[in-house]
Amino acid sequence: MQWQSLVHLKVKRKGFPLLLLTLCKIPTMNFSDIGLSKDLLSSIERAKYESPYPIQIEAIPAILQQKDILGLAPTGSGKTAAYILPLLQLLLPHEAPRDRQPPVLVLVPTRELAIQVAEVTENFSRFLPRRIKSLAIFGGVSINPQMIKLGGVEILIATPGRLIDLVGRNAVGIGRIQTLVLDEADKMLQMGFREEMDHLLELLPKKKQTLLFSATEDKEVAVLIQELLKDPVRVQVAAEDFTPDLIQQEAYRVSPESKGPFLRQLIQSGDWKQILIFTSSIRTADNLVVKLTKNGIEATAFHGDKSQGARTEALSKFKSGKTRVLVATDLAARGIDIQALPLVINYELPRSPKDYIHRIGRTGRAGSMGQAISLITPEEQHHFKVIQKKMGKWVTLVPAEAFGKESTEQGEAPSE
C-alpha cells in the first residue's frame, strides 16, 4: 500500500481549498496489493501503469481465485488489463499446449477490438519468463494465414463467425477451454451474434471460468448472465467514473456555414500530432474528408461503409502517426484505443450523451491530458445542454471568433 497526495483532486472538486488538498493523503493500491506476481509487475511497470484502476482492483483478485466475473464496464475503464493480467498469471506455471486446443478464449464483437486485445496481451506477455502465445482471428480477411498460426496458442481472441469457421475446418478445438471471456457482450448481442454464440457455447466444456464484460445490462444481457455465470463477482464502473477529469473540454458557437472554415482554422492552429474528428453520419464524414483534402489537410475516413481492410489500414496509419486527421462516425468512439490522443473534435454532436462521453474518452487516456472541442450550431445548443447535464460537467460555450483569445475553462451551468 502506498500513500498518495490528493492534489489531483483539485481538478475534480472545484473550490476545495488547495491547502487542505496538498496536506491530505490517502492510501492508494499498488498492483502488488492485488495479488499479481513479480513477473507481471515488471510487465506492468514497462507499460507505465502506476496504480490499478477501480475495475482492476476488484476484478484481478477474483479472477486469480478463478471465480466468474460480471464486469459492467465500458471501454476506457481498463477492463482489458483487468482480465488479461490475471489470466497471464494463471497460465504462466503451466506448459504451453503443443496442439490447437487453447485454454483461454476471448470472444469479441469486432475485428478492431480483437486486434486491440491481442496488442495488450502481446505487450504484457513479451517480458514474461515464458512467452504466452496469443492470436487474434476475425473475418473479412483470408483464413489461411490465421490457420497456420493456431498451433500452441494459449489465448485465442476471436470474433464468433470466424471462430465457427475455423472450428468447422478442424483448425482449432475449443473443447478444452478453461476460461471464457466475453468482451463487450452487449455489443455482440446488438450485432446479432446470439446464434453464433450459442453454437460456440455448446462446444465449450461445461466446467469453466467465465468472465463477462458489458457496458450495459439490458434484458438480453441479463439472460446471458443468467445462463452463463455461476455465482459471479459483480464489478461495476460507471462511465462517469473514468471521464472527463483529464480532459479539457471546450465548445465554440458556430453557424452551419462557418463550421467547415472554423474546423480548418482549428486544425491549422495547433501542432497536434493526431486529431480525431467525429461526425454523426457517414455522409458528413466522407464530405469532410474531401473538403479537408481539397484544402491541403490530409485526412482519412473511418466508418461502417468502409471495408474491414480499409478500416484497419486507416486506423493503423492513424495510430502510427502517418495520417494526422481521422474523420470517424461513432464506430470509432468505442473499442478503439489510441494511446495519448491529444485532440478530439466533435464536428457534430452524437445523439446520446453516453456516446459523447465515449467520444471524448478517446483523448486524455492512460493518465495523459487531452483536449476535446465541440463545434455547436444554434440548433445543437439545446442538445449540448442535455449532454452536459447528463455528464454533470458544464462547458462554457464561446463564440468562434474568440478562439485563441479567451480562456475556455470549465464553466458553470448555462441558464436555460
Residues 117, 136 contacting (CB under 8 angstroms) = yes
Alpha carbon distance 132, 91 (integer Å)? 8
- Residue 375 CB, nearest approach to ligand AMP (Å): 26
- Residue 358 CB, nearest approach to ligand AMP (Å): 11
Question: Contact between 128 and ligand AMP (CB under 6 A)?
Answer: no
Contact segment (CB under 6 A) with ligand AMP among 70-78, 256-264, 345-353, 402-410 equals: 70-78
- Residue 367 CB, nearest approach to ligand AMP (Å): 5
**C-alpha cell belonging to residue 255:** 453557424
Question: Contact between 81 and ligand AMP (CB under 6 A)?
Answer: yes
Q: From the list 80, 249, 329, 346, which residue makes contact with ligand AMP (rule: CB under 6 A)?
A: 80
Beta bridge partners of 341: 363
Count how many Cα atoms sit within 13 Å of the Cα of residue 303 in the half-sphere of its side chain: 20
- Residue 342 CB, nearest approach to ligand AMP (Å): 14
Contact segment (CB under 6 A) with ligand AMP among 130-138, 162-170, 186-194, 365-373 equals: 365-373
Q: From the list 40, 43, 53, 284, which residue makes contact with ligand AMP (rule: CB under 6 A)?
A: 53
**Residue 57, amino acid:** I
Contact segment (CB under 6 A) with ligand AMP among 45-53, 92-100, 219-227, 289-297 equals: 45-53
Q: Binders of ligand AMP among 178-207, rule CB under 6 A?
A: none
Cα 144 to Cα 54, 165, 335, 390, distances in angstroms:
40, 11, 26, 47
The dihedrals phi and psi of 286, each to the nearest 5 degrees, come to -65, -45
Q: From the list 77, 214, 249, 408, which residue makes contact with ligand AMP (rule: CB under 6 A)?
A: 77
Closest to ligand AMP by CB, 182 or 397 = 182
Positive or negative CA dihedral for 414, 278, 317, 358? positive
Q: From the list 17, 205, 367, 404, which residue makes contact with ligand AMP (rule: CB under 6 A)?
A: 367
Q: Please tell me the chain's helix, strand, coil percentages from 3-state DSSP, rounded to the nearest 5.
A: 40, 20, 40
Q: From the list 79, 187, 358, 362, which residue makes contact with ligand AMP (rule: CB under 6 A)?
A: 79
Closest to ligand AMP by CB, 2 or 269 = 2
**C-alpha cell belonging to residue 132:** 504466452
Residues 174, 168 contacting (CB under 8 angstroms) = no
Closest to ligand AMP by CB, 224 or 336 = 336
Residues 271, 296 contacting (CB under 8 angstroms) = no
Question: Contact between 157 and ligand AMP (CB under 6 A)?
Answer: no
Contact segment (CB under 6 A) with ligand AMP among 46-54, 156-164, 201-209, 246-254 equals: 46-54
Question: Contact between 49 and ligand AMP (CB under 6 A)?
Answer: yes
DSSP for 23-53 reads H-EEEE--GGGGT--HHHHHHHHHTT--S--
Residue 77 contacts by C-beta under 8 Å, 6 or more apart in sequence?
53, 54, 55, 237, 241, 242
Question: Contact between 274 and ligand AMP (CB under 6 A)?
Answer: no
Q: From the list 365, 383, 385, 390, which residue makes contact with ligand AMP (rule: CB under 6 A)?
A: 365
Number of H helices, E strands in the chain: 17, 16
Question: Contact between 144 and ligand AMP (CB under 6 A)?
Answer: no
Closest to ligand AMP by CB, 293 or 368 = 368
Question: Contact between 337 and ligand AMP (CB under 6 A)?
Answer: yes
- Residue 106 CB, nearest approach to ligand AMP (Å): 12
- If binding means CB under 6 A, how many residues of this protein chain bind ligand AMP? 16
The neighbour count for residue 168, using CB atoms within 10 Å, is 10
Q: From the list 142, 226, 320, 339, which residue makes contact with ligand AMP (rule: CB under 6 A)?
A: 339
Q: From the list 54, 71, 78, 160, which residue makes contact with ligand AMP (rule: CB under 6 A)?
A: 78
Residues 349, 280 contacting (CB under 8 angstroms) = yes
Q: Which long-range contacts (CB under 8 A, 24 or more apart) does 283-292 make?
A: 284/347, 284/348, 285/327, 285/328, 285/329, 288/260, 288/263, 288/327, 288/347, 289/327, 291/260, 292/263, 292/264, 292/267, 292/325, 292/327
Residues 144, 174 contacting (CB under 8 angstroms) = no
Would you tell me which residues interact with ligand AMP (CB under 6 A)?
49, 52-53, 56, 75-81, 337, 339, 365-367
